Structure 1
């Protein structure tokens, strides 16, 4: 494993440098959640009253409630951005060179996944700092305890992006597939409203939200931000991450690619 570290560092560094050179990507990653936080939340504050639910011990503002969900939004869009970059690299031929390196394919994909997750975590912390400047405070220790939750959620959503990229063959098809994945996952979750409110309006939508992996990623972040743990959210995030990773490895399996070409 130590001998593979230079390759791991090179792949992660490449992802970070690509992100640094794309300043618009960083700004876009912050603009999306800030628009929800500063614009939409102002309109929804009066319409969506919130009761005291775990992990909160008192009544909170709507802006405070959606902050963990917006961190999840950042990780979700970052995972899809990674998927886009993989499709682009495949069309340009650089992905083929990477996957033909004398290293296990799972290691190459894991390195790519770690690089994307690291970038997503940086974006989340930048967003939390800006949110703090607008008066949305959280427990000081929560900024530390949220890190493992961001890592697990980022890996899970990044693995989803890897799995999707293995089935998208042309860059032109990316936008449609992303809209089919991102918006249902985001809006059918607890990112913007608690599940009990969804249950009041529709039992079916409640159960869809309850089994949505993104819901549990958001709840894992929410509880961690308040120095707490949701065992159910942790379990679902780990299970979903494992399933998405297995699907990505299957999608990038060279033997499967040979069979498809022959067919």
Structure 2
């Protein structure tokens, strides 16, 4: 057990030190959601009125609605970026050294996920603090209740990034794969628009958004931020967690996965 905890601490510390040495990552992670909150939301506010929907008890501004979705954006982009570092480590050879550890491969990947997810949560809380400074806040208890939701969603998105990184042979190809996944996943969700508005526009779009695991992750965050429990969102997010983690373990298994076939 000591060896497991030591590896978790060491890998998480490595992720933290990498983040500290790349301070521009922190700024970049906040710029994207702040542009949406302070610029795009001002233009969309008049066109996209939000009715009374759960978990809100009254009419809300568009800025209030999109804050949970923008937190999800931070988790999504950081999950993909941390997986980009895995591709880099694999090209440099450090990934091979890590995976030759006597500890189970699934545990090493889990440690990587935990380290990157904790950094994502730190960035999400920094964004919530800035949003509150601009007048978009949630109940105080919600800031504590949302932590488990951040953790579950961050692990899901980080695991998805690991799955993608196991299929990418070269570092320069990963950016294209990221864009192919990130933007459809973000825009075809409830991050920026309620699902009932999607249903008014197109039943097909609504079905895609409802199937998107990122949608359920956003709703889990949204309800938790307002002190409410969304069992359906939790169930689907945990299911996606299990599928993506299993895919990551398979992908990084040299006997079966894509990593093994590339060497």
TM-score range, shorter chain: over 0.9
Q: Which runs of 4+ in 1 moved over 6 A?
A: none
- The CA deviation string for residues 173-217 of structure 1, in whole angstroms up to 9 with x for no partner, is 111111110000000000000000000000000000000000000
CA RMSD for the aligned pairs?
Answer: 1.1
Work out whether residues 252 and 260 of structure 2, in 8 Å CA contact, stay in contact via their aligned partners in 1.
no
**Would the alpha carbon gap of residues 4 and 55 (structure 1) be closer, same or farther in structure 2, given more than 3 Å must change?**
same
- The CA deviation string for residues 69-114 of structure 1, in whole angstroms up to 9 with x for no partner, is 0000000001100111000110111111100111110110000000
Aligned match of 1:154: 154
User: Which consecutive residues of structure 1, in runs of 5 or more, have no partner in the other structure?
Assistant: none
Work out whether residues 199 and 206 of structure 2, in 8 Å CA contact, stay in contact via their aligned partners in 1.
yes
Work out whether residues 51 and 59 of structure 2, in 8 Å CA contact, stay in contact via their aligned partners in 1.
yes
Aligned match of 1:132: 132
Q: In structure 2, what is the Cα distance between the partners aligned to 1:164 and 1:87? A: 10
Q: In structure 2, what is the Cα distance between the partners aligned to 1:249 and 1:256? A: 10
- Is 2:122 aligned against 1:122? yes
TM-score by length of 1: 0.98
* Equivalent residue runs for 1:137-216 within 5 Å: 137-216=137-216
Aligned match of 2:63: 63
- The CA deviation string for residues 113-142 of structure 1, in whole angstroms up to 9 with x for no partner, is 000000000000000000000001210100
SS at match of 1:27: helix
How many residue pairs get matched? 262
**Would the alpha carbon gap of residues 259 and 167 (structure 1) be closer, same or farther in structure 2, given more than 3 Å must change?**
closer
Work out whether residues 84 and 174 of structure 2, in 8 Å CA contact, stay in contact via their aligned partners in 1.
yes
User: Which consecutive residues of structure 2, in runs of 5 or more, have no partner in the other structure?
Assistant: none
Aligned match of 1:81: 81
